[in-house]
């Protein structure tokens, strides 16, 4: 028996519903996605994670599209299937085109390659970069 399951709105506590409502209003969506329904099994994690994400992903010195591109870059590097799917969708909603997506993955691929070359050749940091 799996003890992990989604917490749907109808079965949620008022505390959890309040977070769901805020997500739906902030993002202008009809329902929250599975990520929120699963972490809602631990309400303090749901509330804290949403508060943090809302703050971090808000427009600032970097605009929301760039922030979503960064999220995809990290998720791909970490090989998180759910995260790649959900943040690729979020990036498209924020304006990512096919061409941008192609360039994004090209950069992510190259960075992962050169990261290992730097480690393998044990390259010392240039004084100019310290």
**Residue ranges in 29-58 that form contacts with a copy of itself under rule CB under 8 A:** 33-35, 38-39, 41-42, 44-45, 48-49, 52-53, 55-57
Q: Which residues, 63 to 102, sit near a copy of itself by CB under 8 A?
A: 66-67, 69-89, 92, 97-102
Q: How far is the CB of 93 from a copy of itself (least distance, A)?
A: 11
Smallest gap, in angstroms, from Cβ of residue 17 to a copy of itself? 18
24 sits near a copy of itself (criterion: CB under 8 A): no
Residue 28 engages a copy of itself in binding (rule: CB under 8 A): no
- Contact partners, residue 92, CB within 8 Å, separation at least 6: 101
Residue 23 in contact with a copy of itself, rule: CB under 8 A: no
At residue 40, what are phi and psi to the nearest 5 degrees?
-65, -10
Q: How far apart (Å, rounded) are the C-alpha atoms in residues 46 and 56?
A: 15
User: What is the rounded distance in angstroms from the CA atom of residue 69 to the CA atom of residue 119?
Assistant: 25
Residue 99 token pair: 């061409």
Q: Which is nearer to a copy of itself, 17 or 92 (CB)?
A: 92
Q: Which CB, 18 or 80, lies closer to a copy of itself?
A: 80
Shortest Cβ 21–a copy of itself spacing (Å): 19
Q: Rounded to an integer, what distance in angstroms lies between the CA atom of residue 108 and that of residue 90?
A: 18
CA–CA separation, 57 and 74 (whole Å): 14
């Amino acid at each position: 028996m799996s003890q992990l399951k989604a917490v749907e709105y109808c079965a949620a506590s008022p505390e959890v519903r309040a977070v769901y409502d805020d997500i739906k209003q902030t993002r202008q969506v009809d329902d929250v996605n599975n990520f929120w329904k699963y972490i809602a099994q631990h309400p303090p994690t749901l509330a804290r994670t949403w508060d943090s994400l809302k703050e971090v992903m808000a427009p600032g010195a970097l605009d929301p599209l760039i922030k979503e591109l960064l999220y995809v870059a990290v998720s791909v590097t970490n090989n998180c299937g759910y995260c790649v799917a959900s943040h690729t969708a979020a990036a498209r909603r924020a304006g990512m085109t096919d061409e941008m997506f192609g360039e994004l993955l090209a950069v992510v691929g190259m960075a992962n390659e050169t990261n290992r070359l730097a480690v393998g050749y044990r390259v010392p940091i240039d004084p100019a970069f310290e």
